[in-house]
Structure 1
Amino acid sequence: MDFYYSPRGSGCRTVIMVAKALGLELNKKLVNTLDGDQLKPEFVKLNPQHTIPTLVDNGFSIWESRAIAVYLIEQYAKDDSLFPKDPKKQALVNQRLNFDMGTLYESFAKYYFPIFRTGKPGTDEDFKKIEGSFEYLNIFLEGQDYVAGDHLTVADIAILSTVSTFVATLLMMDLYNMSGSPSTRAVMMTAKAVGVEFNSVQVNTFVGEQLKPWFVKINPQHTIPTLVDNGFVIWETRAIVVYLVEQYGKNDSLYPKDPQKQALINQRLYFDMGTLYDGIAKYFFPLLRTGKPGTQENLEKLNAAFDLLNTFLDGQDYVAGNELSVADIVILATVSTTEMVDFDFKKFPNVDRWYKNAQKVTPGWDENLERILSAKKFLAENLIEKL
């Protein structure tokens, strides 16, 4: 049977768990609602409401997750334990399913879905409805282990899917990114250093996904990476990494509160953006568009940037003080981009020494290198003219 779904949808996960409980195999067909797949004529023919999940079982089409789940149980279950035939027991399960759809999940949707349209969550009143929904659920569970009787039913599965969506939303942030970019890699390594995880949302700038209305609503500058942390939206790599450290760091070592230490880190971050990263971008990034690097003048400016970095590192192991900071992480992400094109900076001995050490002490370096090598493979396969 064909199952049209999105892995992030709680209703889709309800059906997947029910199918697993029944030992059924689903032919999963991904529907990208952000790209409007659900509005394509071939899908609308299956489901005129164009919603997911949608199940097509040997020509029979049904949608709405709870209806799908009940259908699968009644059609394929070996017994009626997940959806009892006894009218009273079944009525209780149905009540909980309707509570899930009309109260619990509805409260989630009203508070969290506006983030995807405006970058901000719903109102304080909407959040109070979430609290009220959980108070009801807590009452239903008073003195019992299951939401609708003395054993597991489809109501437990549906509500588990919804509750786990709340948990995932509270614990994780969305990072809109393109994995090979140095900016994304800087954020990823910083996140590793402070112990936070992201829901990674890939934005393919090569095909203009950053210009799509849904993304422009989140970030009107339509740049990546962009972070959405429980309704708070921030973009520009260096702003993101500082935010992550200040919000989630266990101490201030990566971005000290001391004004002089912080000022030095800020200077290095601005140097990275305006000089070093700018030099990398102007000389190497044309490769992605034309297969050729920038001009000789661009190369000279890049060498001058590395010469300045070499000066900053004279007699010290870190770019901004005597310990690892966000400046090292960001500049490491920038400098490591040269791995993609075999740029030799050994003529900058301080940089070379720092670079080798930074790889050892920066959390997430292995993942950073893996992304670089993947991007390098892409370049090797697609370059018109190699260096």
Structure 2
Amino acid sequence: MSTAAVRGAVEVYLDLLSQPCRALHILLNCAKIPHKVRTVALRKGENRSPHFTKLNPMQKVPVMVDNGFILTESVAILKYLATKYDVPEHWYPRQPEKRARVDEYTAWHHSNTRPHSAKVFILEVLLPTQSGSPVDSMRLTRALSELDDTLDKLETMFLRRQPFLCGDDITVADLLAVCELMQPLGGDRDVLHNHPPLQRWRTRVQSAVGDAFNQAHAVLYAIRDRRKAKL
């Protein structure tokens, strides 16, 4: 529930074309944490402004400011908010074994789901848009193969036969994963089309977060629709 008028609200600096920003946006709205969104348009270089660079010298989004406390990494921000604020415990469980499952996935995420999903989007959408050159089909084929291997592991190591990645309830791990796996949709590519268990998982995630899902992904849908209109 974004509210720019609430005193003491958490400030978040976001660009919703960024996958981790979308995960954070969904949590804030689902958990009804009072917050103010400060949009940082990466395509306009606003992340390199002096003000933003002072907040995060790495010049990356998201960034959170909570009563002067600045935090710059998406996973840390999600866990901080779920720990500090009165949110349903399922987002980041207190019980040690359940929490460890979320930590296990988020540690794996940065070397697997995130880079492999992002690479497909970069090769199919971002680089051709920026350079005007055609898609490098050989590199894209390799990237899709790497992603498919990651999706297999995601199914067998984490999802298995349970409804969500870390158990019976949705957690911040599901938000991080689903936002990455949605990213190639900007090129009208559904990377889960050969993975029915992950398709069903995505549907459960969408159902669990409701309208917050499509609100966070509106920018990505717009990119997809513009590309389709040009074809």
Deviation at 1:232, TM superposition (A): 0.9
Residue 140 of structure 2 is matched in structure 1 by 295
Contact 1:216 1:222 (C-alpha < 8 Å) held by counterparts = yes
- In angstroms, what is the RMSD of aligned CA positions? 2.2
Partner amino acid for 1:370?
Answer: A
Task: Describe how 1:98-109 pairs up with structure 2 within 5 A.
Answer: none
Between 368-377 and 343-352, the greater mean CA deviation after superposition: 368-377
Partner amino acid for 1:320?
Answer: C
Deviations 1:170-221 (A, max 9, x none): 3322211112221111001111222113322221222322112211111111
Residue 375 of structure 1 is matched in structure 2 by 223
Task: Describe how 1:133-282 pairs up with structure 2 within 5 A.
Answer: 168=5, 170-282=7-119
Partner amino acid for 1:299?
Answer: L
CA distance in 2, matches of 1:348, 1:262: 27
Partner amino acid for 1:326?
Answer: V
* Count of aligned residue pairs for this structure pair: 217
Answer yes or no: is 1:337 the counterpart of 2:183. yes
Deviation at 1:381, TM superposition (A): 6.4
Contact 2:121 2:183 (C-alpha < 8 Å) held by counterparts = no
The higher radius of gyration belongs to 1
Deviation at 1:365, TM superposition (A): 1.6
CA distance in 2, matches of 1:378, 1:236: 31
CA distance in 2, matches of 1:334, 1:186: 9
Deviations 1:231-261 (A, max 9, x none): 1111121111111111113342211122221
**Paired-residue identity, %:** 23
Residue 67 of structure 1 is matched in structure 2 by none
CA distance in 2, matches of 1:254, 1:272: 17
Gap change, CA 1:308 and 1:173, over 3 Å in 2? same
Task: Describe how 1:41-80 pairs up with structure 2 within 5 A.
Answer: none
Residue 305 of structure 1 is matched in structure 2 by 150
Residue 318 of structure 1 is matched in structure 2 by 164
Gap change, CA 1:261 and 1:206, over 3 Å in 2? same
SS in 2 for 1:285: helix
Q: Which runs of 5+ in 1 are unaligned?
A: 1-166
Detail structure 1 runs of 4+ shifted over 6 Å in the superposition. Answer: none
Residue 62 of structure 1 is matched in structure 2 by none
SS in 2 for 1:228: strand
Answer 1 or 2: higher relative contact order, Cα 8 Å, separation at least 6: 2
Answer yes or no: is 1:365 the counterpart of 2:213. yes
CA distance in 1, matches of 2:86, 2:173: 15
CA distance in 2, matches of 1:179, 1:354: 22
Gap change, CA 1:219 and 1:378, over 3 Å in 2? farther
Deviations 1:44-74 (A, max 9, x none): xxxxxxxxxxxxxxxxxxxxxxxxxxxxxxx
TM-score between both structures, scaled by the size of structure 1 = 0.52
Contact 1:177 1:184 (C-alpha < 8 Å) held by counterparts = yes
Deviations 1:310-356 (A, max 9, x none): 21222111100111111112212122223322224232121111111
Q: Which runs of 5+ in 2 are unaligned?
A: 130-134
Partner amino acid for 2:117?
Answer: I
